[in-house]
Structure 1
Amino acid sequence: MASKQPTWEQPQALPGVELPALQIYNSLTRKKNAFVPLDPAGKKVTWYACGPTVYDIAHLGHARNYVSTDIIRRILKHYFAFDVKFVMNITDVDDKIIVRARQRYLLSQFKSKHLTFDDATFEETHAAWKAYVSKNLGLVPAETTTGDFKTATDLAYKNVIEGKSLDGTTTPSEKEAKIKMHIRTAQAAADGLETSRASKSTPPNEIYAKVDDVLLSYLDDLHGSQIDATDHTIFVQLTQHYEKLFFEDMHALNVLDPDEITRVTEYVPQINTFVEKIIEKGFAYETEEGNVYFDIDSFEKVGNAYCRLEPQNRGNEELIKDGEGGLSSKRGDKRSKNDFALIKKSKAGEPAWPSNRWGPSRPGWHIECSVMASAVLGPTMDIHSGGVDLMFPHHDNELAQSEAYWLGEKGCASSNHTWVRYFLHMGHLSIQGQKMSKSLKNFTSIREALTVGEDGIPAWTSRMVRLVLLLGSWKDGVEITEGLVSIAKGWEEKITNFFLKAVDIELSSKDTTISQSSPSSPLSIAFDKAKKETDEALCDSFNTPLVMQAISNLVTEANTAISSDSTTDTATLLSVAHWITRMITIFGLNGTSSPDTATLGWEGVSIPTPAQPVIYRLSQIRDEVRRQARAKAVVPEELEKLTLQPSPATPTPENQSYVTAYETFQSQIKTALTQSSGIETELLRLCDSLRDTVLWDQDIYLEDRDAPLPALVRPLDASMKAARAARESAAQEKILAKERRLAEEAAKKAAAAEKAKIRPQDIFKTDEFAEWDDNGVPTKLKSGEDLPKSRKKKLEKEWKAQKVAHDKWKSEQK
């Protein structure tokens, strides 16, 4: 039956407690609700986030969830000034982990026994391949061999391969994506087996790399049930490995660590106790097979609500089956198909924990979060979050079993107890319309995305990932397109260029009086508008796209102020720059910097601190030298004074290279001024050399601008280095092409000169012909046949050309 949906009651702040006008989209109500924390003082916020199931490497789909969560957490903490306690779980035991760990263990055992890919290894691997194809690609004929597999699949799955649905009549779905994955896996294994058959000398690791995936399921089917259930190390080794990689990836994405981490395997006794209380309250039942299920009917009969997040999916057998796990798909001891497992009787090959009540067993998937969140945060929490795919059945089941446990407890309602006040669900990330999935193997891993390419530039940066997500709503799906990435790159470049100018102005203003802020200046008005729009946007359920637009518009106004001929409102300009710095730092776009940092700009816009006093003064000296040289108005006495100015900083190990550059440039200018001519040319060469070689090699670039603006001092980034390398490569290729062309021309000229030495009467005296006329022009072929008229005409023309060349050669000899 359909569950009665309770009315969500808006929490109210206590009298005298002031809260921001923050509205959060709440999955429980499917609308925005005013955010009121449980804390009577309105300061502390409790938050439980569903963490990863650690059986494989994290991909960009995970980045979407955890980075978006991190952004909201930072906003709550640093913008709205809440004291957030953030708890995240690690799922280190479930059906996927059990299968993956068991498979990896068995594959390792298999390889240790088959160090060479001999005939026996080939036969068993071939059997694994046949089993894989039979199980996953049923349309491929049973008699198909590894050699003709591609032909067979091209025919059997023509529609799928062409990007259509299996029957060719509908839009392709996840079903077709899985078929493509299975074809790729089987084809790789077929190629590996064919390689092994063709060459026994192929290294075994090369073959295993192609056949591993078909061996995994095959070996598990044969030997999985023989695994010792009490040996948890088989499973722990896998989960600890991937948990470590997960947090490495999160750190690379600048995601803050949780305040507390909970792991399922560390809470098994508490889980058993939790389930026992649910049974005692009449909301769960044990079966003869040793399983424990949540009783949805009993829960609802006393007035409670089930399936509150996605009531439309109640009874969805596919989602229910996925929620129960592949190892539980054949459990037939449930009273109702909608009931879900709290405790699973451990079968052969599955890890088991002792229980006095129901024997060796393991926790169900959903119960873990209920127990761990309740243990750390109590009977009610402010926020619970996760990916949108967790709404049903995972979070709906969590709600039911948690509220069943807490009903009637001290301080808790007797029915429809509020376990979670606000549910936040992050939308999916997709590429070409398809959600990333470990099971589909269609994902780009985080570490692969962040890897630096051959051009020195990674496909993604931590900042770029955040920018793409900030440009969209956290609760909606994100489709990665070239257009979206281009917008994000443009936004980043715009902010970087503004920060470079602002940093330059701030450092250049240290020795001067900064103009006072003018409340009526266009920039001040734009600044107030941006701050108001930002506050309204963040209060509107963390509407970061509007904030990004407000910041972009403000930068446009600031750039106008910088380039204006009128006196720049320096104080307001720097206030704008520092405010933008704070906002982008709150969003996590500024590395590990604190939002309260006094440093202007984000990482990558300032040169190293030890370099700043020296290089900025050096740049000023160079500006004046370059100005006079370009104007052909060199005043030696003025430049001589510049060469006498001591370094602004005492040499230290940290700044020695910069001081050396400073002093060397002064010495070079002094020498150039002694020349009798060409002083301007030499001075410009020295200025270019300082910019393009000396400072470039120290990862600093002086970006020359139109007068009267000074050169912009900036650090080098990967794109600038790549662009220069590309230019230098193109220039080098142009030089090489010219050299090749000249060499070819010289070779042709030499060959022509050598040929000119031959008398025209002798040029055709080859065994191709049998007779010649008095001039040496062939008349008969070697076969005795007369030379065709067209051929003879062509040879006579060549004879004349040779005569001209030979006569010229003879005259040159004389």
Structure 2
Amino acid sequence: MLKVYNTLSKKLEEFKPLEDNLVKIYVCGPTVYDYTHIGHARTYISFDVIVRYLKYKGYNVKYVVNITDIDDKIIRRARELGISPQELARKFEKEFFEDMEALGLLKADYYPRVTDHIEDIIKVVEKLIEKGYAYVVNGNVYYDVTKFPDYGKLSGQTLDQIKAGARIEPDLNKKHPADFALWKKAKEGEPYWNSPWGPGRPGWHIECTVMSMKYLGEQIDIHGGGTDLIFPHHENEIAQSEAYSGKKPFVKYWLHTGYLMIKGEKMSKSLGNIIPVKDFLSKYEPDVLRLLVLSAHYRSPINFTWEKAEQAKSSLERIKRTIERLRRIMTYEKLHIENLSLDEKEVYERVCELRRKFEEAMDEDFNTPKALAEIFEFISYINRKINENKVPGPLARYVHDVLMELLNVFGLLQKFEITGVSAEVKPFIELLVKIRDKARKRKDWETADYIRDELRKLGVILEDTPKGTIWRLSK
């Protein structure tokens, strides 16, 4: 039984979608004014794995990630670069999609842009004014938080606490300091759209309410994003959406990812401590970042260091070497469980146990570090059994297929192949290994070492085990 931690209730809850077998998920996407950094990627990788696991469990998933393509930051950056906000937004939207593709993320069903939904936004704002939840002041439209009794339920704050807090900018046009803009009056030189209240553009929070409702309906199963979005963004989404539709809850389960930090500080452009995804991928393959992210629970903070990246790289190599070994010994005959020896049945049962333990871990609020630990424990076990010649070809294929299925939930090894060795070349490597084995038996260490060293120069690594020599590619 899958349980998820709901930020709204502050506890683990059994996961039951609103509609049988259909899970509707909305994740706050990028504001496209700069390159995506690995802190952003942490959230997208986490939700990619959540979507993958839900599909693994047999759910149909409808997944939406929005694109904020008009915003104060976009306007400011465009001015700095001397280009239009639209040109800037399109450039970094393209960069975002390239990064997500490089990381092997599943494509969402929809990537709605704010600027393609201005009319939809205006209609929702009009309805909120009509229902008494919003008011107009000098071409701006504000949401009146005092009209929504549940305001603060997600972040666990009262209006008095919010009023006393420092995160709300004072504005004399507002009735209450926590009131927030649904529509912003146009400023000179800024992009604008015509509306019943004059030229302007949408506020940030209303955008997600409108796009979520348009593509997923007035109530959804999961809404996600970084912890920094709990207040005010997601708090305001609840107020807008539930006031508009009259339906509660707007979101059944709120899921939030922890920060990715450097030296104890949140990774952010304002602090100048960001590592763009592109820079990371110039040093490491995408699966290293995936493994680094999944080694921590999605709600926990990650303190990034390059040493952790190296550890993830080493862990990834362990997985790859195991898959390579299985592929070299597996065959495609049908696996007859009743014909397995006692030792072989033990291997088969351990594979079944791995799947069970993996699912138990993931059912605990998507506990990826625990699930990974089960995989690595099994990898150590299966390598010992391979060394002992207790994994025949058909069983090796079964082990391989189960491992790859579980790794696919994590998005790992999606394009992994034993590259660089064609069917024609493989027999020659194996012949050299046999010649070297004969040299070792004759205690001709000079010849044995020469073959090993020359093969290493060609990218073939030999490993001497109690059951004989095995080989793998260095890359």
Report if TM-score (shorter chain) is over 0.5. yes
Which residue pairs with 1:23 in the alignment? Answer: 3
Q: Deviations over 1:325-382 (max 9, x none)?
A: xxxx6x4211111111111111222221111x21111111100111111111111111
Which residue pairs with 2:227 in the alignment? Answer: 388
Q: Which amino acid aligns with 2:168?
A: I
8 A contact 2:452–2:462 mirrored in 1? no
Which residue pairs with 1:299 in the alignment? Answer: 148
1:65: how far off?
1.1
Which residue pairs with 1:255 in the alignment? Answer: 105
Q: 1:499 to 1:240 in 2, by over 3 A?
A: same
Hey, what's the Cα distance between the residues in 2 that align with 1:80 and 1:512? 26
Hey, what's the Cα distance between the residues in 2 that align with 1:65 and 1:706? 41
1:549: how far off?
0.8
Among 5, 29, 34, the alignment partner of 1:51 is: 29
Hey, what's the Cα distance between the residues in 1 that align with 2:452 and 2:314? 29
Q: Does 1:590 align with 2:413?
A: yes
Q: Does 1:691 align with 2:455?
A: yes
Hey, what's the Cα distance between the residues in 2 that align with 1:425 and 1:510? 43
Q: Deviations over 1:164-211 (max 9, x none)?
A: xxxxxxxxxxxxxxxxxxxxxxxxxxxxxxxxxxxxxxxxxxxxxxxx
Hey, what's the Cα distance between the residues in 1 that align with 2:52 and 2:200? 39
Q: Which amino acid aligns with 1:282?
A: G
Alignment of 1:48-127 (within 5 A): 48-77=26-55, 79-105=56-82
Q: Which amino acid aligns with 1:465?
A: L
Q: Which amino acid aligns with 1:25?
A: Y
8 A contact 1:428–1:477 mirrored in 2? yes
Hey, what's the Cα distance between the residues in 2 that align with 1:68 and 1:272? 33
Q: Deviations over 1:149-170 (max 9, x none)?
A: xxxxxxxxxxxxxxxxxxxxxx
Q: Does 1:334 align with 2:174?
A: yes
- Structure 2 SS opposite 1:399: helix
1:400: how far off?
0.3
Q: Which amino acid aligns with 1:32?
A: L
- Structure 1 SS opposite 2:347: helix
8 A contact 2:332–2:397 mirrored in 1? no
Q: Does 1:607 align with 2:419?
A: yes
Which residue pairs with 1:315 in the alignment? Answer: 163
8 A contact 2:64–2:111 mirrored in 1? yes
8 A contact 1:518–1:569 mirrored in 2? no
Which residue pairs with 2:278 in the alignment? Answer: 447
Q: Does 1:435 align with 2:291?
A: no
1:284: how far off?
0.7
Alignment of 1:343-742 (within 5 A): 343-355=183-195, 357-407=196-246, 413=247, 417-451=248-282, 458=283, 460-481=284-305, 484-485=308-309, 487-506=311-330, 516-518=339-341, 521-564=345-388, 567-568=390-391, 571-591=394-414, 593=415, 603=416, 606-608=418-420, 611-632=421-442, 687=451, 691-692=455-456, 696=458, 701=460, 703=462, 705-706=464-465, 709-712=468-471, 714-717=472-475
Q: 1:23 to 1:711 in 2, by over 3 A?
A: closer
1:461: how far off?
2.6
- Structure 2 SS opposite 1:705: strand
- Structure 2 SS opposite 1:497: helix
Select the structure that is richer in strand.
Answer: 2
Hey, what's the Cα distance between the residues in 2 that align with 1:512 and 1:376? 45
8 A contact 2:3–2:364 mirrored in 1? yes
8 A contact 1:470–1:545 mirrored in 2? yes
Hey, what's the Cα distance between the residues in 2 that align with 1:316 and 1:93? 30
1:621: how far off?
2.6
Moved more, 488-497 or 461-470: 488-497
Alignment of 1:226-305 (within 5 A): 234-287=84-137, 289-300=138-149, 305=150
Q: Which amino acid aligns with 2:185?
A: K
User: Which runs of no fewer than 5 residues in structure 1 stay unpaired?
Assistant: 1-20, 109-233, 322-328, 408-412, 452-457, 594-602, 634-679, 718-814
Q: 1:538 to 1:706 in 2, by over 3 A?
A: closer
Q: Which amino acid aligns with 2:419?
A: I
- Structure 2 SS opposite 1:350: coil
8 A contact 1:619–1:711 mirrored in 2? no
1:687: how far off?
4.8
Hey, what's the Cα distance between the residues in 1 that align with 2:397 and 2:181? 59
How large is the Cα RMSD of the aligned pairs? Answer: 2.7
Hey, what's the Cα distance between the residues in 2 that align with 1:495 and 1:559? 11
8 A contact 1:382–1:421 mirrored in 2? yes
8 A contact 2:65–2:110 mirrored in 1? yes
Among 6, 30, 33, the alignment partner of 2:13 is: 33
8 A contact 1:26–1:422 mirrored in 2? yes
Q: Which amino acid aligns with 2:144?
A: D
Q: Deviations over 1:28-62 (max 9, x none)?
A: 111111111122xx222111111001111111111
Hey, what's the Cα distance between the residues in 2 that align with 1:513 and 1:282? 68
Hey, what's the Cα distance between the residues in 2 that align with 1:53 and 1:549? 35
8 A contact 2:439–2:448 mirrored in 1? yes
8 A contact 1:27–1:424 mirrored in 2? yes
Task: Tell me which of the two structures has the higher relative contact order, counting C-alpha pairs closer than 8 angstroms and 6 or more residues apart.
Answer: 2
Q: Deviations over 1:268-310 (max 9, x none)?
A: 11111110001111111111x111111112232xxxx112210
Q: Which amino acid aligns with 1:52?
A: P
Q: Deviations over 1:478-512 (max 9, x none)?
A: 11246644543342232223223212222xx5799
Hey, what's the Cα distance between the residues in 2 that align with 1:66 and 1:624? 47
8 A contact 2:335–2:395 mirrored in 1? no
Percentage of identical aligned residues: 36
Q: 1:486 to 1:291 in 2, by over 3 A?
A: same
Q: 1:350 to 1:632 in 2, by over 3 A?
A: same
1:421: how far off?
1.0
- Structure 2 SS opposite 1:76: helix
In the alignment of these two chains, the number of paired residues is 470
Q: Which amino acid aligns with 1:37?
A: P
- Structure 1 SS opposite 2:215: helix
Hey, what's the Cα distance between the residues in 2 that align with 1:68 and 1:511? 37
User: Which runs of no fewer than 5 residues in structure 2 stay unpaired?
Assistant: none
Q: Which amino acid aligns with 2:142?
A: Y
